[in-house]
Amino acid sequence: MFRTCGVSVVGPYHDESGLPSQDALGIFGGRKGKVLIVSDGMGSKQKSRLGARTAIKSVRKVLFGPEVPTSRELIQNIYRDWLDNLPEGHPSNFGCTLLFALIQADGRATLAQLGDGVIIYKAGKQFNVLTPVKVNFGNQTVGLGISKLWADWHVEEVFLQSPGDGVILMTDGISDDLHPEKIEKFFNTISASLRKTNKRIVQAQLQEQLRNWPTQGHSDDKTIAVISRD
Amino acid sequence: MGFAKYFEDDQSRLYNATPIEKRQQDRLKGLADQQQNKHAEANLTNEKKEKNSMKKLKEFVISEPRAIPVIIIADASGSMNEDGKIEALNHSIRDMIKSFSEEARVRAEIRVGMISFSGESAKTHLPLAPANKILDVQPLAAAGGTPMGKAFDLARELIEDKEQIDSRAYKPVLILVSDGQPTDDWEKSFDSLCKSERAQKATRFALAIGNDADEEMLKKFGNDPESPFFRAHQARDIHRFFRAVTMSIGAQTKSMTPGVNGGLLLASAEASDDLDLDF
């Protein structure tokens, strides 16, 4: 059995400015399995909040829609649906990152990412980071409405076959402040909590942690989605 | 004798039926309660443990703020001795550092470093450090030629050094100040700076001091689309430039997007790698 939870909190910058969070989160279950989706509207883009929310809907619609033969086609369909559902204006005004995971009942999973944030996972008890190591700097990202390059996407098919296997998606408001050498332990702690504790308690605790984030001067919205296999 | 009401359970019907039954029932009830309490305590302990482990999420999080590196590339050639230029530059840099160190409620830590070039070499005049920890800056002393290319090399090496500027940092700001023509092979070094994966991401401002500065080169250096080329004719213009840069960086540190001065750059693409999209 797979357990899921997700939390999104508005960051101090938006909170103090009276603005809503630009992050969006979706966790859904359906015939095909479970879907986790995280999107971060780009701060400099006026309508990026709407872009992020539209991205959640598009991913859900396409992933629970008809099968497509390749990941590239899947992502193309998501992108097209996103473009079709934007209101008037250039797509770059709605620029946002996109991270998603589709986990089928038997454990087969598709993980995909465009832009900042991090996807970490354990498959067959082996820990991995989908996201390439960041070479450049914060606030340097591509996203929906910004990049059309297939090469900007990071996609993997994995098999969550063992107890403790799972996936965590995070926006960069969280991932940029994690000690890189402790990220596996971070995964294990949250994943174990989800398997052993009531989901509502885990969500409440995560929310408290994200609201009281210890990094000095942190400003960004923070969103995390977790799935773990019993 | 009456019939038991239909909703009575067995326990209540038998309870108190005889003293022996009552004692047996109480004993069984006591055992059941004890077991229930043990389960409840175990759950509470588990929940406490999980709460504690979630509290320990702090151990995975870096507490230091993210940095905006600001690197000044300062011309300390002999001509800067004229008309109070080097004094104005020294004052302006000190004022900028002081202003950064006094910034409150910032979302990023401003770190300042300085590379100077004169004679036939360039050197790190001020190692990169948080502005509020810079107690004093040794004044620049002007002499000799204008080896700007060597300064570009040093700047590139500094930005590429992930121990000095980690990937958590916001994109660096480079500020080039010069009053003359480069006297070394600056183009090759500038080209390397622009091609470096990290250094090319830096925001670059340029200030030309006086009429002898290489305007063409300095215009090429500056890359911020919202900041025009600056020229200083008098010492006070140098102050104005640095005040403007100080305010701009200070504003960024309070914003949602520190390190972002202009629009995002669109990635250029090979036509064959494009997704098939209409925009």
Q: What is the mean pLDDT of residues A98-125?
A: 96
Share of chain A above pLDDT 70, in %: 97
User: Across the interface, do B201 and A140 touch by the CB < 8 Å criterion?
Assistant: yes
Beta-carbon contacts of residue A75 (< 8 Å; ≥ 6 apart)? A112, A150, A153, A155, B275
Q: Which residue of B has its CA nearest to A145?
A: B279
B-chain CB neighbours of A135 within 8 Å are 167, 197-198
The DSSP bridge partners found for residue A119 are A169
For residue B232, pLDDT over 80 is answered with yes
Q: What is the mean pLDDT of residues A196-212?
A: 92
User: Across the interface, do B54 and A145 touch by the CB < 8 Å criterion?
Assistant: no
Task: Using DSSP, state whether A219 is helix, strand or coil.
Answer: coil
Higher pLDDT, B76 or B42: B76
For residue A183, pLDDT over 50 is answered with yes
The confidence score (pLDDT) of residue B222 equals 86
The confidence score (pLDDT) of residue B54 equals 60
Q: What is the mean pLDDT of residues A98-107?
A: 96
Q: How sure is the predictor about B268, in pLDDT bands with cuts at 50, 70 and 90?
A: very low
User: Across the interface, do A14 and B256 touch by the CB < 8 Å criterion?
Assistant: yes
Q: Tell me the two tokens of residue B261.
A: 């001065």
The confidence score (pLDDT) of residue B168 equals 87
Asked if residue A47 lies in contact with residue A146, where contact means CB atoms within 8 angstroms, the answer is no
Neighbours of B93 (CB within 10 A): 23
B98: exposed, middle or buried (C-beta count within 10 Å: 0-12, 13-18, 19+)? Answer: middle
Distance CA B203, CA B245 (A): 11
User: Across the interface, do B170 and A76 touch by the CB < 8 Å criterion?
Assistant: no
Q: How sure is the predictor about B267, in pLDDT bands with cuts at 50, 70 and 90?
A: very low
Give residues 132 to 161 of B whose Cβ lies within 8 Å of A: none
CA-based angle A178:A179:A185, to the nearest 5? 90
The confidence score (pLDDT) of residue B249 equals 81
**What distance in Å separates residue B35's CA from the closest CA in chain A?**
21
Residue-wise pLDDT tens digits, B116-135 = 999 999 999 999 999 989 98
Residue-wise pLDDT tens digits, B146-187 = 999 999 999 999 999 999 998 888 889 999 999 988 999 999
Distance CA A197, CA A194 (A): 6
Q: How sure is the predictor about B78, in pLDDT bands with cuts at 50, 70 and 90?
A: very high
The confidence score (pLDDT) of residue B4 equals 44
Asked if residue A169 lies in contact with residue A225, where contact means CB atoms within 8 angstroms, the answer is yes
A-chain CB neighbours of B51 within 8 Å are 201, 205
Beta-sheet pairing, B67-75 with B109-118: parallel
The confidence score (pLDDT) of residue B8 equals 45
Candidate ranges A135-144, B25-34, B48-57, B122-131; pick with highest mean pLDDT: B122-131
Q: What is the mean pLDDT of residues B31-56?
A: 57
Q: Which residue of A has its CA nearest to B50?
A: A193
Q: Measured in whole angstroms, how far is the alpha carbon of residue B214 from the centre of its chain?
A: 32
The confidence score (pLDDT) of residue B53 equals 58
Mean pLDDT of chain B: 79
The confidence score (pLDDT) of residue B230 equals 85
Q: A137, A155, A176, A202: best mutation site toward chain B, by most B Cβ within 10 Å?
A: A137
The confidence score (pLDDT) of residue B2 equals 47
Share of chain B above pLDDT 90, in %: 38
**What distance in Å separates residue B243's CA from the closest CA in chain A?**
24
Q: Which residue of A has its CA nearest to B43?
A: A197
A-chain CB neighbours of B66 within 8 Å are 138, 176-177, 215, 217
The confidence score (pLDDT) of residue B29 equals 60
The confidence score (pLDDT) of residue A94 equals 94
Mean pLDDT of chain A: 92
Residue-wise pLDDT tens digits, B201-223 = 898 999 999 888 888 888 889 88
User: Whose CA is closest to B80, among B151, B138, B140, B153?
Assistant: B140
Share of chain A above pLDDT 90, in %: 82
Q: How sure is the predictor about A33, in pLDDT bands with cuts at 50, 70 and 90?
A: very high
User: Across the interface, do B54 and A134 touch by the CB < 8 Å criterion?
Assistant: no
For residue B34, pLDDT over 70 is answered with no
The confidence score (pLDDT) of residue A10 equals 93
CA distances from A83 to A49, A58, A64, A144, B279 (A): 15, 9, 18, 9, 9
Q: How sure is the predictor about B5, in pLDDT bands with cuts at 50, 70 and 90?
A: very low
Distance CA A115, CA A48 (A): 14
B-chain CB neighbours of A177 within 8 Å are 61-62, 66, 168
Q: How sure is the predictor about A16, in pLDDT bands with cuts at 50, 70 and 90?
A: confident
**What distance in Å separates residue B196's CA from the closest CA in chain A?**
11
Q: How sure is the predictor about B101, in pLDDT bands with cuts at 50, 70 and 90?
A: confident
The confidence score (pLDDT) of residue B105 equals 55
For residue A20, pLDDT over 70 is answered with yes
Torsional class of B241: left (φ above 0), alpha (ψ -120 to 50), beta (otherwise): alpha
B-chain CB neighbours of A220 within 8 Å are 256
Give residues 208 to 247 of B whose Cβ lies within 8 Å of A: none
Task: Using DSSP, state whether A162 is helix, strand or coil.
Answer: coil
Q: Which residue of B has its CA nearest to A76?
A: B275
**B106–A contact, CB cutoff 8 A:** yes
Beta-carbon contacts of residue B2 (< 8 Å; ≥ 6 apart)? none
